[in-house]
Structure 1
């Protein structure tokens, strides 16, 4: 029983090769993000690619380097759900702000 408790307190040991693979993947994603600018990609494709690479890198960092991949699901939800809820609320406020602006522009003549 005592051995089980002491083993649980020591934590997990992850192979160094896992971290090296993740570093390599992060380097590759960063290079691809740089190539988007280097190849002068413009418009919505540019921003979609940049945000996609950014989210992939953030997900790798969270899951491997911050050890979220080995945590309980409740802890993952406690960390990831609040920012996602904030993004939804920001989107709702943006829709409401556009509605208020265009309502004023239509009915008050000019919106300002």
Structure 2
């Protein structure tokens, strides 16, 4: 039988990534367990979440071994959308505060 030839990755790579995902999930859980509050809490949770998402995309979706142009074509548009959303959030806060200052009181 003629099998399709392709690159095979060692099972050890996947086991290491699973272990790292487990460690990152445990650290995310420990943030809640130790009752970290405020911006530090959300910063840590989002950081761990992005690290886990990056590992999953890079290894399990095989983007680590793709051409750079394909990676940019897949990851760059969502990144641009996130930047535009952040700009809109800052603009929305500015408009909200300006209207409050102009009309006298914030609701």
Give 4+ residue runs of structure 1 displaced > 3 Å after superposition: none
For these two proteins, the number of residue pairs brought into alignment is 106
1:7-86 equivalent positions in 2, closer than 5 A: 10-86=5-81
Query: Which stretches in structure 1 are left out of the alignment for 5+ residues?
Result: 1-5
Give the alignment's TM-score, normalised by structure 1: 0.85
Greater helix share, structure number: 1
Counterpart Cα distance in 1 of 2:43 and 2:97: 28
Q: Relative CO higher for 1 or 2, CA cutoff 8 Å, sep ≥ 6?
A: 2
Give, in angstroms, the shift of residue 11 of structure 1: 1.7
Give the alignment's TM-score, normalised by structure 2: 0.89
Give, in angstroms, the shift of residue 111 of structure 1: 5.3
Query: Which stretches in structure 2 are left out of the alignment for 5+ residues?
Result: none
Deviations along 1:21-66, whole A, 9 cap, x unmatched?
1111101111111111111111111111111111111011000000
Answering whether residue 100 of structure 2 is matched by residue 105 of structure 1, we say: yes
Counterpart Cα distance in 1 of 2:106 and 2:35: 37
Counterpart Cα distance in 2 of 1:17 and 1:96: 47
Counterpart Cα distance in 1 of 2:24 and 2:73: 27
